[in-house]
């Protein structure tokens, strides 16, 4: 019982809603209040514009931020790649609608086969997970190339 309560307290403290999402990665409720790590704009010249085109804003919860500083992410860390459409009006680039929210969630026991990270995609404004096992494996295949940085690509600037 005590373990269960600690678990719930942890989930609340980390801003993650309790509940057992199919892939084990819950919707990152409130991520817009977390730390903004960086942004990347992917334009039409990119080979994967159809999938990845638009404005990416990266966020991290408190434990996620800790990892950016130490290079090793503790359990409970959540990293977000929020992808919005990039609109252009008279030379001004602006945010459009949300395309999807990509999430990495650290749990070294549950996700031990994928470097301790759970991967998930929430489409549009939907809070329901969309990836199957194959999709999650594809995320890890690319992210594991960053082995010496705990599978994380982005860097936090001061």
List residues binding ligand HEC (CB under 6 A).
40, 56, 58, 79-81, 102-104, 119-121, 135, 138-139, 142-143, 152-154
* Cβ-proximal residues to 44 (8 Å cutoff; 6+ apart), any chain: 53
Question: Minimal distance in Å, beta carbon 15 to ligand HEC?
Answer: 15
Nearer to ligand HEC, 19 or 47 (CB): 47
Q: Which two tokens stand for residue 9?
A: 């307290």
Question: Minimal distance in Å, beta carbon 87 to ligand HEC?
Answer: 19
What are the distances in angstroms from CA 125 to CA 57, 75, 83, 107, 145? 15, 26, 11, 25, 30
Q: Which two tokens stand for residue 40?
A: 């990347």
- Residues 34, 12: Cα–Cα separation, whole Å: 14
Q: Which two tokens stand for residue 70?
A: 């130490």
Beta bridge partners of 79: 60, 104
Question: Minimal distance in Å, beta carbon 50 to ligand HEC?
Answer: 14
Nearer to ligand HEC, 10 or 151 (CB): 151
Question: Minimal distance in Å, beta carbon 138 to ligand HEC?
Answer: 5
Q: Which of 45, 138, 32 is nearest to 78 (CA)?
A: 32
Nearer to ligand HEC, 6 or 95 (CB): 95
CB of 98 closer than 8 Å to CB of 84: yes
Nearer to ligand HEC, 6 or 40 (CB): 40
Question: Minimal distance in Å, beta carbon 35 to ligand HEC?
Answer: 12
Nearer to ligand HEC, 94 or 138 (CB): 138
């Amino acid at each position: 019982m005590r373990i269960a309560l600690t678990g719930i307290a942890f989930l609340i403290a980390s801003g993650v809603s309790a509940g057992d999402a199919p892939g084990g990665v819950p919707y990152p409720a409130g991520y817009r209040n977390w730390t903004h790590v960086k942004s990347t704009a992917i334009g039409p010249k990119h080979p994967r514009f159809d999938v990845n085109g638009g404005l990416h804003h990266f966020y991290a919860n408190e434990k996620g931020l800790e990892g950016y500083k130490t290079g090793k992410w503790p359990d409970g860390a959540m990293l977000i790649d929020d992808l919005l459409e990039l609109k252009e009006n008279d030379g001004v680039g602006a945010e459009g609608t949300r395309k999807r929210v990509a999430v990495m969630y650290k749990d070294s026991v549950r996700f031990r086969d994928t470097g301790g990270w759970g991967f998930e995609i929430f489409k549009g404004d939907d809070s329901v997970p969309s990836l199957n096992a194959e999709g999650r494996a594809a995320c890890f295949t690319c992210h594991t190339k960053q082995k010496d940085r705990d599978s994380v690509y982005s860097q936090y600037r001061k």
